[in-house]
Amino acid sequence: MMCNSGAVLLVTALSLTGQPVNGFVSRLMPSSLPSASLSSPKYFLGPKAPGLLVCLHMKSSFPEDTSESTDFDAPTSLPTYNRIDSPSEVSPDLTPSDEQFAEYKEFDRRKVEFPLSENTETIPSRRKTRQETEAKARARFKSGDELIELRRKVAALREDLTYAKDFRDSMKRYTAKEKLEAAVQRVKKLEMSISNLCMQDPEFWYVFMLEVAAGADRRGDEDTAKKARLDAKEARRCIPQLNMHGLWVGKYGTHGYEMVNITYVGEHEDVLVATKVTGDQNVPRGEVSFTCNLSPRLQFQSASSLEPIELNARAAKQWGKRYLPRHSGKGQVASEGYQNAQWMDGQLILVGRFFSFAWLPISHQVFFGRPSPELVLKMLKEHEQNSKKDNVASMRRVAETMMDGAYWNEQEADDFFNQEGCFE
């Protein structure tokens, strides 16, 4: 009864826009949830409202529905940034090479992971609580290969659901009551299975909670909004591509190692921007190297997410995982002196605690790892020295141009050398 009404899509829309709704709907709306904390997963897995709520939400992303996809605007702070294109048909092989594996090992050897400024004994209790909450969130959501397998399962169930619905609708034309009832039950069961699986997908939960929060805001229900936002934040921490803040080092071909600083911009800070901390003659320090719009949409996967790379058995063993999630983005290129700067299609590929970015049209792929604090200092120092060297070099260039005719012709107009007594 709850999930099979054709009006359900509308219901979702209404509950999310906060417009007046009828009694049936308002019983299912977030505002009607009891006062328990939204951030407690168990509470949400409870017998009634949450599952149905998810089920209702899911309606908008079930295959039969033509819900509109969200259109994202590029942040204004970036240079020309086209809307992310749909993935091109020719998909290049972006499986990391053995060479990259060697680089990965090198990063792994030097890694300093999540350096804690406080030692464990002095962790304030507030922080401790946060860590515990995060651990709980991690236990609740699937990640890595498991998450990809979960999504495939959901996709298969959705297909089943399409057939189940067709079957149910055809049953409606006949009067066989028991058969119709069985078909209705089948649809319901599939919808609940899908909903329950989706609740283990952090991206789904993140978007869902943001929408619950937005709906609550519009109704002026601050309490629900606050709790939903907290829950969204918790889910967000379990989405790897939204937690890559800070410094990364990658080998930019012949330019050697360079450092980028990853930040997030946009309304929900879902647009990844990698700014060069050390640059090169083409794209200098302070400019954006690449960017990716990772905003999840109603369908709970980001607009830019592509099918993961499936590794062959050998590579899977090497990397310790079967699937590498990836997202489409834009990479910046320029000729020397940051001339003719332009954006081209790229892909961000997640490889566990590492990632790579590929500039597709020029087949340029850079593999990034976390630098140790020592490496950061060393690179910054070297970069500074190199910029100084660049200054020396440019002074030398000026000196050299002084040797060619044009310069001296100008100077000679002053007849400087012909002045008598000059060299005496």
**Binding stretches for ligand NAG (CB under 6 A):** 261, 263, 277
- By beta-carbon proximity to ligand NAG, the closer residue of 142 and 285 is 285
- Closest separation in Å from C-beta 261 to ligand NAG: 4
Instruction: Tell me how far, at minimum, the Cβ of 398 lies from ligand NAG, in Å.
Output: 31
Nearer to ligand NAG, 235 or 259 (CB): 259
Nearer to ligand NAG, 86 or 117 (CB): 117
In whole angstroms, the minimum distance from the beta carbon of 152 to ligand NAG comes to 36
Please say which residue, 261 or 372, places its beta carbon nearer to ligand NAG.
261
- 212 vs 249 by CB, closer to ligand NAG: 249
CB of 372 to ligand NAG, least distance (A): 14
**Rounded least distance, CB 263 to ligand NAG, Å:** 5
Write down the least CB distance from residue 112 to ligand NAG, Å.
Answer: 16
Question: Based on CB atoms, which residue is closest to ligand NAG, 10 or 380?
Answer: 380
In angstroms, give the least distance from the CB of 392 to ligand NAG: 25
Which residues are bridge partners to 262 per DSSP? 246, 274
**Judged by CB, which is closer to ligand NAG: 261, or 318?**
261
Nearest residue to the partner ligand NAG, using Cβ:
261
